Amino acid sequence: RHIESDALPGSYCLCPICLEIFMEPVTLLCTHTFCKVCFLESVDKSTLCCPLCRKRVSTWVREHSRNNSLVNEALWERIQREFPQSAERRREEEHTGKRREEEHTGKRREEEHTGTLIGKK
């Protein structure tokens, strides 16, 4: 028996890639769901297949990317409503991770630039 107002089981909301609660979930035609970032990082860019079942999703991904509709908004809103602390923690982790990545990338670029200058002397 499935009633729409039933609470989501926590296990239903876990990404099979990062094993955390979904962050901006993407539900593919094959019904597999992933965090948006996990999906985009793990999908084979050349064939655009589901990371779990390998079903080809290239047309779907291109269409939804163009329309900015990759995220399963209904599921994402429900997760934020039913698991507010977990969703907020994931948002903070993602923000902190992006900041660290940007800082690391900036340092690496600076090191590469410095190395180039040193190499020219």
Alpha-carbon span 25 to 21, nearest angstrom: 9
**Strand residues in 1-121 grouped as ranges (E):** 25-27, 33-35
Number of H helices, E strands in the chain: 4, 2
Residue 76 tokens read as: 């994402």
Residue 83 tokens read as: 């698991």
With 0.85 as the threshold, say if the pTM is over it: no
Q: What is the pLDDT of residues 85-116, one digit of tens each?
A: 999 998 888 878 765 665 555 555 554 444 44
Q: What is the pLDDT of residues 35-85, one digit of tens each?
A: 999 999 887 666 789 999 999 998 999 899 899 999 999 999 999 999 999
Strands 33-35 and 25-27: antiparallel
Question: Which residue ranges form the domains of the chain, and what is each CATH number?
Answer: 12-120 (3.30.40.10)
DSSP character at residue 95: H
